[in-house]
């Protein structure tokens, strides 16, 4: 296998089958960080890489980005690619330091775009996703045969539970884990639908819609796919979810940060996505507060229903939303630092607001009938307030 090595400005690029890079139509990008820090993590990295390096798609190239790892990640990637004997164009990029998930993907995308003038589609595949080759090819064919800007299938957790499917959020307050997503309403995963954004763990985009830009580099780890979804849909692009199980997502195994650091990164993701989204739309801030109110009602009532076993994954729902909500609110009071030249007027997401309202009012009536004693209901609501409050009492005293 022909290997070409290029070094420039502390960035090292190893190109295998370089000549085939120029004719690549589909480019799959995967970002790695300390992927060999343990045997378990190393085994997952190899298994995930094997699952998509052997996918038989004509003119398919791979871009593997080592995002400043301090272990043997680059050697693991190189050894596995050589072992596979793949005839694809494979670019292994080593960055001098961890530049964040969004920027690492953007670097891989720019590099591939500069090499291949034939590039039509870009696939994003997390390093902890084991891909089903047959289903991935089916997803790719759907994108080829339609005029949508991007497509996503179903990702399962290793336990067999739903990890990611149809995803919805409103650009008015861009944070993840909404109760309207399939993670909390699994029936949504049974039907194809147009969605607000695609999961960055595994999705395929039409290069024509991207217009030379993938992610905003300001979003270090979270919020990048929300912003991209807002950007594409604001230009009348369509993002499609199809009920096809395309892989298994070992979510969380790649994360090395502490819980507190992860919370701070989530906060920044909320601030980033809201700031970037607000630069795409012209709406009064009052609508942001209205949606925040509706979403708080929704979360509160869903937690209430969980007390009687009618809703699951509540702790995860609150954890995902709390830090993003803090960052999003902060963005309302600060000028968006990432202003765009062109601002598109979007109508408020009425469907999202109506669904949030229905998810709050109807359960509220149900809960009031279920818990007639007023004192018991007040005690329950006090518990809920402590659960969803952005800051604990101890953190407030420190502030």
Asked if 218 contacts 192 with a C-beta cutoff of 8 angstroms, the reply is no
d(CA 140, CA 327): 35
Asked if 191 contacts 248 with a C-beta cutoff of 8 angstroms, the reply is no
Residues 6 or more apart in contact with residue 148 via CB below 8 angstroms: 194, 206, 237, 238, 239, 240
d(CA 90, CA 70): 22
d(CA 191, CA 201): 20
Closest CA to 268 of 210, 331, 349, 312: 331
**Residue for token digits 């963005």?**
331
Written in H, E and C, the secondary structure of the chain is CCEEEEEECCEEEEEECHHHHHHCCEEEEEEECCCCCCHHHHHHHHHHHHHHHCCCCCCEEEEEEECCCCCCHHHHHHHHHHHHCCCCEEEEEECCCCCCHHHHHHHHHHHHHHHCCCCCEEEEECCCEEECHHHHHHHHHHHHHCCCCEEEEEEECCCCCEEECCCCCCCCCCCCCCCCCCCCCHHHHHCCEECCCCCCCEEEEEHHHHCCCCCCCCCCCCCHHHHHHHHHHHCCCCEEEEEEEEEEECCCCCCCCCHHHHHHHHHHHHHHHHHHHHCCCCCCHHHHHHHHHHHHHHHHHHHHHHCCCCCCCHHHHHHHHHHHHHHHHHHHHCCCCCCCCCCCCCCCCHHHHHHHHHHHHHHHHHHHHHCCCHHHHHHHHHHHHHHHCCCCHHHHHHC
d(CA 155, CA 98): 26
pTM more than 0.85: no
d(CA 259, CA 265): 10
pLDDT of residue 137: 94
Mean pLDDT in order along the chain per 10 residues (399 residues): 75 86 91 86 91 90 91 90 87 90 90 88 93 94 93 89 74 47 65 84 93 81 78 85 90 58 60 60 55 57 54 52 52 46 39 44 47 50 50 40
């Amino acid at each position: 296998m022909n290997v070409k090595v290029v070094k420039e400005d502390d960035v090292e690029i190893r190109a295998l089958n370089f000549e085939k890079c120029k004719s690549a139509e589909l480019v799959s990008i995967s970002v790695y960080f300390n992927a060999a820090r343990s045997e378990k993590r190393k085994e997952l990295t190899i298994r995930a890489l094997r699952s998509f390096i052997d996918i038989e798609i004509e003119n398919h190239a791979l871009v593997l980005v080592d995002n400043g790892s301090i272990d043997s990640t680059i050697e693991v990637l190189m050894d596995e690619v050589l072992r596979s004997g793949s005839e694809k164009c494979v670019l292994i990029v080593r960055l001098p330091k961890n530049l964040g998930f969004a920027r690492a993907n953007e670097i891989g995308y720019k590099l591939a775009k500069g090499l291949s003038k034939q590039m039509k589609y870009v696939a994003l595949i997390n390093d902890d996703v084991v891909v089903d080759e047959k289903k991935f090819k089916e997803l790719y064919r759907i994108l080829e045969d339609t005029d949508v800007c991007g497509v996503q299938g179903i990702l399962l957790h290793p336990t067999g539970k739903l990890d990611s499917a149809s995803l919805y959020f409103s650009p008015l307050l861009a944070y993840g884990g909404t109760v309207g997503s399939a993670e909390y309403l699994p029936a949504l995963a049974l039907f194809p639908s147009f969605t607000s954004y695609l999961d960055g763990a595994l999705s395929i985009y039409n290069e024509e819609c991207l217009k030379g830009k993938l992610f905003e580099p300001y979003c270090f780890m979270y919020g990048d796919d929300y912003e991209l979804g807002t950007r594409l849909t604001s230009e009348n692009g369509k993002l499609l979810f199809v009920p096809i199980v395309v892989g298994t997502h070992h979510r969380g195994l790649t994360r090395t940060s502490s819980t507190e650091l992860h919370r701070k990164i989530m906060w920044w993701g909320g601030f980033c996505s809201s700031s970037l989204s607000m630069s795409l739309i012209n709406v009064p801030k009052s609508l942001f507060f209205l949606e925040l109110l509706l979403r708080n009602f929704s979360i509160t009532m869903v937690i209430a229903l969980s007390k009687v076993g009618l809703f699951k994954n509540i702790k995860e729902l609150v954890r995902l939303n709390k830090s993003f909500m803090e960052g999003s609110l902060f963005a309302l009071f600060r000028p968006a630092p990432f202003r765009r030249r062109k601002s598109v007027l979007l109508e408020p997401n009425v469907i999202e607001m109506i669904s949030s309202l229905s998810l709050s009012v109807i359960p509220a009536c149900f809960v009031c009938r279920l818990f007639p004693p007023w004192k018991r209901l007040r005690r329950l609501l006090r518990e809920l307030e402590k659960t969803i409050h952005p800051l604990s009492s101890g953190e407030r005293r420190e502030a």
